[in-house]
Amino acid sequence: MLFCVYHTVYSGDKLPPNYVGSTSLKRIKEENYFGSPRSRAYQDIWESELLENPHLFSRTILSTHETREEALSEELKVQKENNVVRSSEWINMAFAAPNGCFGMDISGELNPNYGDKGTQHFKGIWDKKHDEIVENMIKERNAPEGKKRMKRVIAEEWEKRRADGRYEKFCETMAVVNNDPVKNEKASRKIKDRWLNDPVYQEKMRNRKQGGRQPIQVEIDGTTYSSMSEASKATGLNAYKIRKIVNETK
């Protein structure tokens, strides 16, 4: 099996424009693979844009290799040449480690501050600083003001998508996938493979299940239901219409 290093260019306005990675040529051809950023800052946006706006992504094969290790070494070389973890032009927030693992490997020349006078000063605190930033982002998002702002932003974004036709396009795309057994199976297999092989995704989904939203009581035509799911099953209304009823009665 041959492996490759690829460069993906994103031409939208929600992400940095560049991403570099390595994978098998088989995956590139069979899945039209563009990459899988692991950072919390970009992962969800990347997946959403790839699903709704695939035309914004293009990919170039930079090199091919006989082994995965050779591909990883070349990927690391490209990342270091472009100093991806410190550049706002790149989605990559971590270097590819030579042993095949991915993460904030900051030892020696992999340190984003390597060669600077302050290298020794920053050694050992990069991960700590990164964790503090992520923790502050989560706190801000979960604060009452942050939740209100997020709710407003999401509502505004959905209105934009309905106005410019993106929502209808998304529904049409999902209808094609749901009605095509081959595409449906491929999408299901992709989610299943991610659940089985991606520890970060597994942890994310477990936390979501443990700390999910509390059920919202819904009253429709004088009948109170314990949750929107129960109301949907009893009335036949979809989730969007039920949410609209909830918002109108607040």
pLDDT tens by residue, 60-77 = 999 999 998 899 989 999
Tokens 């290790």 correspond to 69
pLDDT (mean) for 19-39: 90
Q: Does the structure show a pLDDT above 60 at 110?
A: no
In a domain, residue 198? The reply is: no
User: CB–CB of 66/2 below 8 Å?
Assistant: yes
User: CB–CB of 23/61 below 8 Å?
Assistant: no
Of 3-7, 109-113, 144-148, highest mean pLDDT: 3-7
Alpha helices (H) along 24-164: 25-31, 43-52, 68-82, 119-122, 126-142, 144-163
**Which residues contact residue 158 at a Cβ distance below 8 angstroms, ignoring those fewer than 6 apart?**
167
Nearest Cα to Cα of residue 75 among 35, 41, 111: 35
User: CB–CB of 20/84 below 8 Å?
Assistant: yes
- Domain hosting 232: range is 213-250
- The DSSP output letter for 13 is S
pLDDT (mean) for 115-129: 52
**Residue of 214 and 72 predicted with greater confidence:** 72
pLDDT (mean) for 159-167: 80
**Which residues contact residue 178 at a Cβ distance below 8 angstroms, ignoring those fewer than 6 apart?**
184
The rounded mean pLDDT for the chain is: 78
pLDDT (mean) for 206-216: 60
In a domain, residue 188? The reply is: no
In a domain, residue 202? The reply is: no
In a domain, residue 100? The reply is: yes
pTM comes to 0.43
Give the domain-ending residue among 105, 121, 153: 105
The pLDDT, as a whole number, for residue 169 is 82
Nearest Cα to Cα of residue 5 among 86, 80, 93: 80
What is the percent of the chain with per-residue pLDDT over 70, rounded to a whole number? 75
SS3 assignment, position 22: strand
Give the domain-ending residue among 58, 86, 105: 105
In a domain, residue 230? The reply is: yes
In a domain, residue 57? The reply is: yes
The pLDDT, as a whole number, for residue 208 is 61
* Residues 31-58: b if buried by 16+ CB within 10 A, e if exposed: eebbbbbeeeebbeebeebbebbeebbe
Total domains present in the chain:
2
Q: Does the structure show a pLDDT above 60 at 105?
A: no
In a domain, residue 11? The reply is: yes
Give the domain-ending residue among 70, 105, 140: 105
C-alpha–C-alpha distance, residues 196 and 62, integer Å: 30
Neighbours of 79 (CB within 10 A): 21
Residues 142, 44, 19: CA angle, nearest 5 degrees = 130
| Residue 217 Cα distances to 62, 212, 229, 231, angstroms | 54, 15, 10, 9
In this predicted structure, which of 12-26, 98-112, 181-195, 208-222 has the lowest mean pLDDT? Answer: 98-112
Residue 107: Cβ-neighbour burial (10 angstroms; 0-12, 13-18, 19+): exposed
Q: What is the pLDDT of residues 94-104, one digit of tens each?
A: 888 755 444 44
